[in-house]
Amino acid sequence: MNCEFHLRLAGVLQIALALLHLSFPKRFHWKEELARLSPLNRQIFMVHTFFICLVLMLAGSLSLLAPRSLLERTALAPLVLAGFSGFWAIRLVFQWFVYDRSHWRGSRFNTVMHWLLSALWAYLALVYAGSWLMVRGASF
């Protein structure tokens, strides 16, 4: 496994995912949906969405611009890799066990997106887990 290549690709994918969030308000009709919330809940939702995008941009930038630093045998690198791997593994679990299946079943577009996103979450979790194993000195 060429960890540096896959970390860079993971970075690009996370940055693309952050940018994809820019289309969410229109795609998911947030203007109408969020109007039903109290001002505090609406603001919390918007702030959390902003910070999700920011974290995706930061993690993506780290992976894209400094993959060699993530692959060094330092005290910090394996912690960051393990954290990123865990983050994406948990996101994959949520994709399957938190979202109601009725959101994607019966809709070709939503089903395709469900599977593509599941593959993305799995890929990201595996890239960071594989890199973590390499930094830890495991062979595979």
pLDDT at 114: 96
What is the residue-averaged pLDDT of the chain? 95
Percent of the chain with pLDDT over 70: 97
pLDDT at 98: 96
Distance CA 124, CA 84 (A): 8
pLDDT at 30: 96
pLDDT at 79: 97
Amino acid at 135: V
Residue 19, pLDDT above cutoff 70: yes
Residue 140 banded pLDDT, cuts 50, 70, 90: low
